[in-house]
Structure 1
Amino acid sequence: MHWMLRHPSLALVLLTLLVVLPGPVLLQVDFNNAPEIYFPEDAPAVVFDRELREHFPQDQVIVALFSGEGVYQTEFLQRIGALSQALAAAPAVERVLSVTTLDHIRATPAGFSVEPLIDPRELDSRTPEAWRTRALEDRFAPGLVVADSGEATALVVRPHALDNSLQRLQLEQLLRAGIAEHGLADDLSAVAGHIALDVAQLRAMLTDLALLVPGTMTIGLLLLWWLFRRWLVVGVAAATISAVTGPAIALLILLERPFTLISAILPPLLTALTVAMLMHFFNAQLHAAQRGYLGRDRVVAALQAVARPILFMALTTAAGLASLNVSSIRPIGGFGLVGAFGVLLAAAIVLWLLPALMARWDRGPWHAPRRSLRLLDRVTGFAAHLAIRRAGWVVAIAAVLIAIALPQIRHVEVETDLYAFFDDHHPITQSTRQVEEELSGVMALEVVFQGPEWDSLQAPDRLQAIHSVQEWLDARPEVDYSMSLPDLVAEMHWAFNEEDPAFRTIPDSSDLVAQYLFIYDGRDLYDVVDRDFGRSRLLVNLNAHGAREINALMDDLRDRLEAHPPADMQWDLAGMARLFADQERLLIQGQLHSLYAVAGMLALLMLVMWRSVPLAAVSMLPNLAPLALIFAVMGVLGIWLDMATAMIASVAIGIAVDDTIHLLYGYRQRRLAGSSVAWALARTFRRTGRAITATTIVLVGQFLLLALSDFQPTAAFGLLTAFGLVAALIFDLLVLPALLVLGHRLRNRPVLS
């Protein structure tokens, strides 16, 4: 640090490079919030799903719902047919399902034929009411592309594998542009499905970035101006924030990590933490100026006061963030790794580069704006007086509060529901609800059956076994729609026998099944079976969105399959529902591992810093207690432990311990200089208490800004972290000094002989 003080030009060049160099890298950011990237690449569900997609289409789709009395009129059907054909020609689209493209099996004098449910070339051959009746009586269309009410129909776009959220956005834009071009915009009532949800999350991410990044920076810079009234402070702070956030996000990109809604929290978080470090550094500069120091001497005096606390502040916060890297959910792990890097970079700039710049170019006077600081001094002065004079009462009240809070933690529910991430008035929520009311649930589950050899799924006993599983699922309230190979075989058998209802069953002859499958010339068949007829999938649409409800269904299904094996076939579960439900287990494991890791690392760092077991223990207590309060509030308010809130523990405790470090450092230095406990606490609060209170104010303001997000987990993350920081400040200003006072009294209590 002192070497760099003699090279201010080098410090300026380095700071400029940190601001400028990440620019080209940032242009390569991969916006991708697709569900797949949240799972470990080697997770069994991910490996199986990847292998399955080599033989079967994607299960993620985008659904356009059209409503009104005219959806079976000739003009509408012509337009929906033309739109389906245009979309199917797009390179990104694998297939379009609509009333004009879905297969329909019907009897013919020669046996049966497979033709479009509604052929756009033969619209004049039937009346609109006749087409409606044909669609409603079809075995597969109702619930998939036709509403039971007869007043709505859907167009389902199934793409080839898409690499990121921007490609999903382009697909939705293609769909909406096609709808407008074909004159169907007035009939469109909803756009839903997992692709539409991903696009909604992408838009929320971009909106958050546009609001939160400049918003958090503005709050921090305004508070720095309010406290120090120096334009140089504001300018240097703005450059420092840019020099921290730019390289951090560039690192995320260089590590080939996608930018997700989790990653979107990084820029405002790093901005807040950087402002906190700057606050302590400039506050030390102010105190040095008040003591008569000028120029380089003022900077040196400031560094002597805050260098060690800021360093350990950075280490503890980085430890808290780095603990998230143990999570199996990749965006959370990447968030922790990049966040830790950003915090350490911020400390390096504040302690290494800024002092050289301030020593060289800071020539103006430092005046403490009395009105700005008077309220802060009153708060800290009152806290010091109360903690010293009523130490026993403070600790007792804190203990009672924790005792009340701890039982509430058991009410915290681990749950992830992608469709609850937006409020009830959000367009994606309303669209999803409408599609599910008119058609079926949007959560896809696949039950995959593997026969012992090629053509083995043509055997009637195996088809009956699959059908038995399907019947069990259809009886579940979570299931809205299902489709399977046995359904298609039974439909062909029914049509071949002149549509006699008695023949809508699976035939007893393997040869007859093989003959049906051989002459089938439609496209729907290979959605449910591979071309070797050795593997089949039972497609299920669920109305369940929450991971717990889906896990309960899958557990029951596994129990059923184990108790009643499907003939001699192997089976497994796949699809979005399987991937999504597995996330709950990963969240629990990641949260526990992260808590253990952060608590262990912080305890070790406190022991290294204070070189005292009692002092290290005292420093941990005021920071673990607010963590308990956060989880208690989650339990009381019913806030779920999900992807975003799972990070709160590590982030909050990593930040909260910063104030403890600054207070304890100042207190310990004064005690070593011979001050009494009361005097050491009073002087520390006078100097450091002001800074940590101001820092908490800016941090709380910046995290409360996150609460404006349309994405509910981000809003909950901001609110709960802000609450945790306020609780941590109260514990630091009241409970920590009270513990120190009580500890001193116990050590010096006279022993009666």
Structure 2
Amino acid sequence: MKKKIKVGFWEFIAGIVLRRRITILAIIAVFTIFLALQWKNIHFTYTEANLLPDDHEVNLEYNAFLKEFGEEGNLIVIGSKDEKLFTPKVFENWTKLMSDLNKQSEIDLIVSVDNIKRLQKNDSLQTFELVPFIDQKKSKDEKYLQAVKKELFTKTPFYDGLLYNKSGTIRSALYLDKKIVNTPQRKDFILNTFIPKIEAFKKENNIDLKVSGMPYIRTLNAKNILNEISLFIGAALFITSLIFYLFFRSHRATLISVLIVVIGVMWTFGFIGLFNYEITILTGLIPSLVIVIGIPNCIFLTNKYQQEYATHGNKARALQRVITKVGTATLLTNLTTAAGFGTFMITNSQLLKEFGLIASINIVALFFLCLILIPIYYSYQPVPKAKHLEHLNREYTQKFMNWISKNVRYNRTKVYIVAVSLFVISFIGALQIKTSGSLTEDMPKKAPFFKDIQFFEKEFNGVMPLEITIDTKRKKGVMKSSTLRKIDELEKTIIKIPELSKPISIVSLVKYSKQAFYNGNPEYYELPTAQEKSFVLSYAKNASKNTDKDIMKSYVSSDGQIARITTFMKDIDTGNMSKVEDELWKKINEIFPPDQYKVSLTGKALVFEKGTKYLLNNLVTSLLFAVLLISLLMIFMFRSFKMVVVSLIPNLLPLIITAGLMGYFGIPLKPSTILIFSIAFGLSVDDTIHFLAQYRQELTKHNWKIKKSVFATLKESGMSMFYTSVVLFSGFSIFMLSSFGGTVALGGLIAVTLLFGMLSNLMLLPCLVLTLNKRLANEQEFIQPKIDILEHEDSEENTSN
């Protein structure tokens, strides 16, 4: 009577996969088509990354500001230091350029030298009149233009810092329609209308114009990101498939691996469209990550298939064991990788939640693609040729593994000394890490638009808006003399801060009104006295009626209760930003008593800086959650606390080494680099799972003899661990092709972490296993897990043994 053989879970799955091949392929094809149809929902983000939760106090203040005054990031500036600008021909072309741009529906207002108004007193009507600063009929006379230029620089302090600076730089201020700032229309206008007109002017007049401002920066930055997504996908596919081919020397094996990751990339975009998420600088990296992470899965499964076939020469059994022997281990390695990304979902940042969710879903989906398609593909292919199996005994890999085994066998003390030394040195370096974060820090430094940012920083102290709102808590409270003087006092403090530009507020218009009242004498550009106020403001109240696009209307709320001060910041990091903020609040609290005024600091620059701090504060929580989650998976796998300790040490050491390198090389913690640790930990622990899973099986094979089992494990799994680590290292290195500093740091540091992780798992991990299990192991040290990590050998093989 035959003994009934119990069929394991993965044997059951293997049976379905190999018997229902056509049906499964049809299901995958239909699902792929379904996700491809979701691509129509994909669109690129048209706003800056908001790293804060929606209900965060800083976001609430910023949204309140937007509700009162509208989008504040709608300014584009065009500047030049070329003296030819005030020559008749060039000035005529400049006037035509500004006029053409002003006719565009996307432009709300242009303030430029050619169209500015002079505030002039009309005594007969007791009002101010806005008259053209430049007489266009006389603009063909160069002497007249030079006289106008001199007057602008010496007699119009109102425009100082807005249209000119003392060093001779002229600029124009273009205010986009606030309704299009965060829409595709902004991109179309900048790329298809604005830039061509600017380039044509530069070419015709041989003048170097500098352009900046948040709408312009964001548009070109987004264009660079989209271009790099294609670059990364292509580079990742090329380098990983090339390495795969060099390892296996098989076109067929390479073909199926490439096909799988291409499907994975299609699914990634499909899931983004299905969830109606935007393509951001983070979600844009996921397709490349899918390729980099998917190829190692293909390596493990292909390597296992070829190892099995080389052992017994039975193709059907080899295909079945690809699933049954490494199914659970590969699933758990993918789950730990997904967990590394999934930890970002516990943050309250929508940007990171979307990144973590899409990455996690696609990593798990990719595992099933690999596990299903590789056995099905090889079931239709001829058996491996001898040349395809040569890599199993390739000389250079054998030398490397022999070197690893030698150190584990004879030099364990040295391994521990090196590990402890690296830990101490790296820990000291990690204490030197600084935090950083600004809107422009990770932008491509070699791009022309970044050089223009630096130009405006030097000439006008930056283009990053910082907004201050002052709620007087009473209607028309802004125009009270006491309030105006307090605002003026705060502005004097702003001017003294080198990181900030000259502020713009209602105070500037009131000062200009007094100057106009005294016939344009610049010595009177100051706030009116109590006696002068009634006369000056009675003239000023009708001035704004002469234009429906008065820039100063944006600086007082409609009921006159809230005043707005706008200044612009240099590209400074979070540390300097905090100092600026502290200095401002010190003065604000001094001159605006909280019981009488409510003052808020906001603006994109501040929101981003606060978001950086928020992420840094959540870094430890996210990493600890990743460690906890992966530890629970280890306990679930091995049901042994000793194995949890053994598995964590080799994976935490590379993280400390990376942190140390960041400290020594001055690489700051910022939104792009804080992602490294959770991602790298989730990837690095994969090797640990493969090693310990194989180690458990070797223990049962070798009668629980630890030393023999450890070295058998190195021989069995070491090659695949080496191959996959090389692919991951090379794959993440492709991000160093980026022009964005943050992406370069992300790719380079993860690659370095994984390199140390490979060495740690191949050398330190087996040393720890040998040291912590000096006595002969017994089955009590490895309690039977809830699930089989590696399937037991089948009955036929057990019989032969």
Task: Please give the range of the TM-score, normalised by the shorter of the 2 chains.
Answer: over 0.9
- Structure 1 residues 449 and 287 mapped into 2: Cα distance closer, same or farther (>3 Å)? same
Partner of 2:166: 148
The question of 1:135 aligning with 2:152 is answered: yes
Give the distance between the partners of 1:460 and 1:445, measured in 2 at CA. 25
1:179-328 correspondence runs (5 A): 179-180=198-199, 186-328=206-348
More displaced 10-residue stretch of structure 1: 403-412 or 270-279: 403-412
Q: What is the rounded CA distance, in whole Å, between the counterparts of 2:621 and 2:134 in structure 1?
A: 56
Aligned: 1:69 with 2:55: no
Name 2:187's counterpart in structure 1: 169
Could you tell me which of 45, 49, 68 is aligned with 1:32?
A: 45
User: 2:630 maps to which residue?
Assistant: 602
**1:604 Cα deviation from its structure 2 partner:** 0.7
Shift of 1:13: 1.7
Shift of residue 363 of structure 1?
4.5
CA pair 371-624 structure 1, distance change in 2 beyond 3 A: closer
Encode CA deviations 1:591-624: one digit per residue, 9 max, x unaligned.
1221121111011111111110001110111001
**AA partner of residue 163 (structure 2):** V
Q: Does 1:714 align with 2:743?
A: yes
Using the TM superposition, give the Cα deviation of residue 543 of structure 1 relative to its aligned residue in structure 2, in angstroms.
2.5
Bigger mean CA offset, 621-630 vs 584-593: 584-593
What is the CA RMSD across the aligned residues, in angstroms?
Answer: 2.5
Deviation at 1:135, TM superposition (A): 2.1
Provide the residue aligned with 2:354 in structure 1.
Answer: 334
CA spacing shift, 1:528–1:549, aligned 2, 3 Å = same
**Alignment-derived partner of residue 652 in structure 1:** 680
In structure 2, what is the Cα distance between the partners aligned to 1:741 and 1:175? Answer: 68
Q: Given the alignment, which residue of 689, 692, 710 partners 1:664?
A: 692
CA distance in 2, matches of 1:243, 1:605: 28
Larger mean CA deviation between 460-469 and 579-588 belongs to 579-588
SS in 1 for 2:79: strand
Task: Summarize the Cα distance change of 1:599–1:624 in structure 2 as closer, same or farther, 3 Å threshold.
Answer: same
Provide, for residues 104-149 of structure 1, a one-character-per-residue CA deviation record: whole Å limited to 9, x for no partner. 3234444532234445466369701121023213123232222423
Q: Deviations for 1:482-507, whole angstroms, at most 9, x for unmatched residues? A: 12212211210221133453573233
Which residue is equivalent to 2:585? 558
* Paired residue type of 1:377: Q
Q: Tell me if structure 1 keeps the 8 A contact 2:471–2:563.
A: yes
Contact 1:63–1:154 at 8 Å: present in 2 too?
A: yes
Is 1:583 matched with 2:583? no
How does the TM-score come out when normalised to structure 2? 0.88
Give how far 1:59 is off.
2.8
Which residue does the alignment assign to 1:751? none
Distance 2:431 2:120 in 1: 57
**Which is further off, 656-665 or 446-455?**
446-455
Give the C-alpha shift of residue 562 in structure 1.
2.1
- 2:737 counterpart SS class: coil
Once the two structures are superposed, what CA deviation does each residue of 1:446-487 show, in whole Å capped at 9, x if it has no partner?
A: 111112232221211111111111111112122221122122
Post-superposition offset of 1:559: 2.7
Name the aligned partner's letter for residue 113 of structure 1.
E
Could you tell me which runs of 5 or more consecutive residues in structure 1 were left unpaired when the two chains were aligned.
Answer: 749-753
Letter in 2 for 1:631: A
8 A Cα contact 1:295 1:362, kept in partner: no
Alpha-carbon distance change, 176 to 610 in structure 1, aligned in 2, over 3 angstroms: same
SS in structure 2 opposite 1:369?
helix
Correspondences of 1:1-12 after superposition (within 5 Å): 1=13, 2-12=15-25
Q: Structure 1 pair 119/323, CA: closer, same or farther in 2 (3 Å)?
A: farther
Q: Note the C-alpha offset of 1:257.
A: 2.3
Distance 1:281 1:667 in 2: 18
Superposed CA offset, 1:9-46 (max 9, x none): 12222333354433332344222263254443333333
- Aligned equivalent of 2:457: 436
- The one-letter amino acid paired with 2:252 is L
Contact 1:72 1:129 in 2 (8 A): yes
Q: Distance in 1 between matches of 2:601 and 2:505?
A: 14
Aligned to 1:538, the other structure's residue is in SS state: strand
Structure 2 counterpart SS, 1:127: helix
When residues 386 and 740 of structure 1 are mapped into structure 2, their CA distance, relative to the original with a 3 A threshold, is same
Q: Residue 733 of structure 2 aligns with which residue?
A: 704
1:391 and 2:407 are equivalent in the alignment: no
| 2:131 corresponds to which of 76, 90, 115 | 115
Separation (CA, whole Å) in 1 of partners of 2:169 and 2:584: 34
Moved more, 159-168 or 238-247: 159-168
Q: Which residue of 1 aligns with 2:649?
A: 621
Is 1:85 the counterpart of 2:112? The answer is no
Where do residues 313-462 of structure 1 align in structure 2 (5 Å cutoff)? 313-361=333-381, 363-365=383-385, 367-370=388-391, 373-422=394-443, 424-462=445-483
Equivalent residue number for residue 513 of structure 2: 492
Corresponding residue for 2:494?
473
Residue number in structure 1 paired with 2:503: 482
The count of residues paired between Structure 1 and Structure 2 equals 749
Alignment counterpart, residue 741 of structure 1, candidates 754, 770, 778: 770
Of 580-589 and 644-653, more deviation after overlay is shown by 580-589
Residues 104, 548 of structure 1: alpha-carbon distance in 2 compared, 3 angstrom cutoff = farther
Secondary structure, aligned partner of 1:480: coil
Query: 36-45 or 299-308, which moves further after superposition?
Result: 36-45
Deviation, 1:217, is 1.2
Of 126-135 and 143-152, deviating more is: 143-152
Give the 3 Å change call, closer, same or farther, for CA 698–507 of structure 1 in structure 2. same
1:505 corresponds to: 527
- SS where residue 209 of structure 2 aligns? strand
Secondary structure, counterpart of 2:600 in structure 1: strand
Deviations 1:416-442 (A, max 9, x none): 133332465332231112223333421
User: Residues 33, 382 of structure 1: CA spacing in aligned structure 2 closer, same or farther, 3 A cutoff?
Assistant: farther
Asked whether the equivalents of residues 676 and 750 of structure 2 are also in contact (C-alpha less than 8 Å), the reply is yes
Q: Which residue of 2 aligns with 1:688?
A: 717
Q: Give the TM-score taking structure 1 as reference length.
A: 0.94
Task: Tell me the amino acid that sits aligned with residue 543 of structure 2.
Answer: Y
For the structure 1 residues 188 and 741, does the alpha-carbon distance in structure 2 shift closer, same or farther, using more than 3 Å as the test?
same
State the identity as a percent: 19
**Which residue does the alignment assign to 1:547?**
574
d(CA) in 2 for partners of 1:324 and 1:233?
34
Q: Does the 8 A contact of 1:45 with 1:574 survive in 2?
A: yes
| Counterpart secondary structure, 1:106 | strand
Shift of 1:741: 1.0
What residue ranges of structure 2 are gaps of 5+ in the alignment?
1-12, 778-801
Q: Which amino acid aligns with 2:488?
A: H
- Per the alignment, residue 49 of structure 1 pairs with 62
With over 3 angstroms needed to count, the CA separation of the structure-2 counterparts of 1:323 and 1:117, relative to structure 1, is farther
- 2-structure distance, mates of 1:542, 1:462: 24
- Measured in 2, the distance between the counterparts of 1:289 and 1:563 equals 80
Label 1:369 to 1:157 Cα distance change in 2 as closer, same or farther (>3 A). Answer: farther
Alpha-carbon distance change, 175 to 370 in structure 1, aligned in 2, over 3 angstroms = closer
What is residue 515 of structure 1 aligned with on the other side?
538
Aligned residue for 2:42, secondary structure, equals: coil
Aligned to 1:154, what secondary structure does the other structure show? strand
Q: Confirm or deny: 8 A CA contact 2:401 2:715 kept in the other structure.
A: yes
Q: 2:113 aligns with which of 99, 124, 143?
A: 99
Bigger drift between 702-711 and 490-499 goes to 490-499
**Stretch moving more, 346-355 or 702-711:** 346-355
SS across alignment from 1:70: helix
User: Are 2:26 and 1:13 equivalent residues in the alignment?
Assistant: yes
How far 1:234 moved relative to its partner?
2.0
- Aligned equivalents of 1:202 and 1:372: distance in 2? 48
In structure 2, what is the equivalent of residue 612 of structure 1? 640
